[in-house]
Amino acid sequence: SQTIHQWPATLVQPVGSPLSLECTVEGTSNPNLYWYRQAAGRGLQLLFYSVGIGQISSEVPQNLSASRPQDRQFILSSKKLLLSDSGFYLCAWSDRLAVYNEQFFGPGTRLTVL
């Protein structure tokens, strides 16, 4: 069966510090991968998606970047965090070959920028 991992689970960082959040998927190959941010009262915002190694698309301009160094690894980064980067970050995957391909979510990372 497939599983998706995210770490860390929680993170408190000062403004201006760097960020690296990691997401890995097990039990599947060539997944589509996604990063979302969930801010209080604002639903889910798609930040990045990837359909393959090294292929990253950004949905919104922002202070963050993403990378996919391996097929089942997706990393969210920032060089200098802003207060507005606080939120709950969710990684998800979907089966690229499935026609009706629901997304499967990781447990999330709660980021607080002080």
Partner 1 sequence: AQSVTQLDSHVSVSEGTPVLLRCNYSSSYSPSLFWYVQHPNKGLQLLLKYTSAATLVKGINGFEAEFKKSETSFHLTKPSAHMSDAAEYFCVVSNSGGYQKVTFGIGTKLQVIP
Q: Least distance in Å: CB of 40 to partner 1?
A: 11
CB of 107 to partner 1, least distance (A): 5
Q: How many residues does the chain have?
A: 114
Work out whether 11 is an interface residue with partner 1 (CB under 8 A). no
Nearest to 45 by CA among 60, 23, 30, 66: 60
Residue 49 as a binder of partner 1 (CB under 8 A): the answer is yes
Residue 84 phi, psi dihedral angles, 5° rounding: -70, -5
Interface region with partner 1, contact rule CB under 8 A, candidates 12-20, 64-72, 73-81, 106-114: 106-114
Answer for the pair 78, 63: CB distance below 8 angstroms, yes or no: yes
In contact, 77 and 111? CB cutoff 8 Å = no
The span of 13-21, 40-48, 62-70, 76-84 binding partner 1 (CB under 8 A) equals: 40-48
Our finding on whether 99 is near partner 1 (CB under 8 A) is yes
| Interface residue with partner 1, options 39, 51, 60, 82 (CB under 8 A) | 51
The answer to whether the CB of 34 falls within 8 A of the CB of 95 is no
Which range touches partner 1 (CB under 8 A), out of 11-19, 63-71, 74-82, 89-97? 89-97
Cα four-point dihedral sign 94, 95, 96, 102? negative
The answer to whether 22 contacts partner 1 (rule: CB under 8 A) is: no
